[in-house]
Amino acid sequence: MTSVVITTAAVVVALALAGALVLFWRLYQDSVRRADAALAAVEAERARGREQQAALRRYEVAFASASGRGELGEQVLVETAKALGLREGLHFAVQTDVAGGGAARPDLVLFVSGGRQVPVDAKTSLATWAEAVETDDPAERADALRVHVRNVRARAAELAGRGYQRWADAIYGAIMFVPSDAAVVAALDTDPTLLGWLLDRRVFLCGPTGFAVVASAALFAATERTLADDVDRVRGQAARAHRSANAAVEAVNVSSTHLQRFLAARRKELDALEGFRTAVQPLTDAAGLPGGVAAVRREDEVTTYGVANGVIGAEAGPDALPENGSGTLRDSAG
């Protein structure tokens, strides 16, 4: 009996140990899978970090050169203008030589009424402003913002020296576009005298929101100009139609006068022919010829019919004339 109990206990212990081993193995496998997933997530995050660093380096390189800043700012400008409903070639133009010799080529030119233009430059550097946004040190942020203000002033002085207002005189100055409203506000907050300094040089600093206001005004002006041009064209066409109508009426009046003169001359011709027939009749009688000279037909209804139906003279075909009593067609000249 004792041996049976011991055997049973040994079996139970062996089964318990086997179950514990299976559970431990499963837990180990789960921990390995979780560790592998964590490692994969870490590698993916590192890859995204490397991509972001590469993009940031490209961003810094772009902002480090005037051409890169111009391309980026011009792209933002064009996208903003198109989003507002402006059409390239109708409401604005890109890289237009307003001076004629290549000395003045703003990134974008807005067209307003009267053939006037608004030049827009988009090469302002935002590299130091980006550094100010990224840093957590207040001193470094203040230094970066001061450098940002100096960059804005330098670019504004360069634009003022180009004298865009000599060719694009809609606002007698130039718009200095900054792709970020926050960068504009930061510059104006850092240097309270910046706005007055810019206005003295006829340079208008604005971000996408300010440019949207200016572009909307240009769109309204261009629309008004287009409507005025359409009205002028309609008036011109109406004047030409009026002159054409007068010419047509005068032609009809001249034709009517000539027709009346032709009918009067025809009546005189028939009267003379009738007189000649009367004078020849005694000679016919004396000659003893059978019959007499045929009578001259003077049916006025033939002429009246031709006038009413537009078949006078050569235009009156045989089918258009009524028949006389003998069944023959009457002479259209009668």
For the chain, domain boundaries: 57-229, 297-334
Query: Within 13 A of 334's CA, how many CA atoms are on the CB side?
Result: 17
- Decide which of 293 and 305 is more confident: 293
| Structural contact between residues 324 and 301, judged by C-beta atoms closer than 8 angstroms | no
Secondary structure class of 97 (helix, strand, coil): coil
- Decide which of 203 and 293 is more confident: 203
Which pLDDT score is estimated for 235?
A: 79
Ranges 6-10, 76-80, 96-100, 259-263: which has the least confidence: 96-100
| pLDDT one-digit tens code per residue, 268-283 | 888 888 887 787 777 7
Using pLDDT thresholds of 50, 70 and 90, give the confidence band for residue 179.
Answer: confident
Which pLDDT score is estimated for 59?
A: 58
| Mean pLDDT on 286-311 | 60
Secondary structure class of 94 (helix, strand, coil): strand
* Cβ neighbours for 198, distance < 8 A, ≥ 6 positions apart: 156, 176, 204, 205
* Cβ neighbours for 207, distance < 8 A, ≥ 6 positions apart: 177, 178, 179, 180, 181, 182, 183, 184
Nearest to 73 by CA among 97, 116, 106, 104: 106
Which pLDDT score is estimated for 261?
A: 86
Which pLDDT score is estimated for 312?
A: 45
CA dist 333 and 312 (Å) reads 8
Query: Amino acid identity of 39?
Result: L
Using pLDDT thresholds of 50, 70 and 90, give the confidence band for residue 305.
Answer: very low
CA dist 186 and 50 (Å) reads 30
Residue 141 has pLDDT above 50, yes or no: yes
Ranges 77-81, 95-99, 225-229: which has the least confidence: 225-229
Nearest to 152 by CA among 118, 193, 119: 193
| Structural contact between residues 92 and 108, judged by C-beta atoms closer than 8 angstroms | yes
Residue 90 has pLDDT above 80, yes or no: no
CA dist 91 and 110 (Å) reads 6
Residue 150 has pLDDT above 60, yes or no: yes
CB atoms within 10 A of CB 178: 26
Nearest to 187 by CA among 136, 153, 138: 153
Query: What percent of the chain stands above pLDDT 90?
Result: 1
| Mean pLDDT on 171-197 | 87
* Cβ neighbours for 177, distance < 8 A, ≥ 6 positions apart: 73, 76, 77, 107, 108, 120, 121, 122, 124, 206, 207, 211
Which pLDDT score is estimated for 99?
A: 61
Residue 262 has pLDDT above 70, yes or no: yes
**DSSP conformation letters of 224-256:** HHHHHHHHHHHHHHHHHHHHHHHHHHHHHHHHH
Residue 297 has pLDDT above 70, yes or no: yes
CA dist 73 and 63 (Å) reads 10
* Cβ neighbours for 64, distance < 8 A, ≥ 6 positions apart: 127
Residue 47 has pLDDT above 50, yes or no: yes
Query: Amino acid identity of 221?
Result: A
Ranges 38-47, 50-59, 181-190: which has the least confidence: 50-59
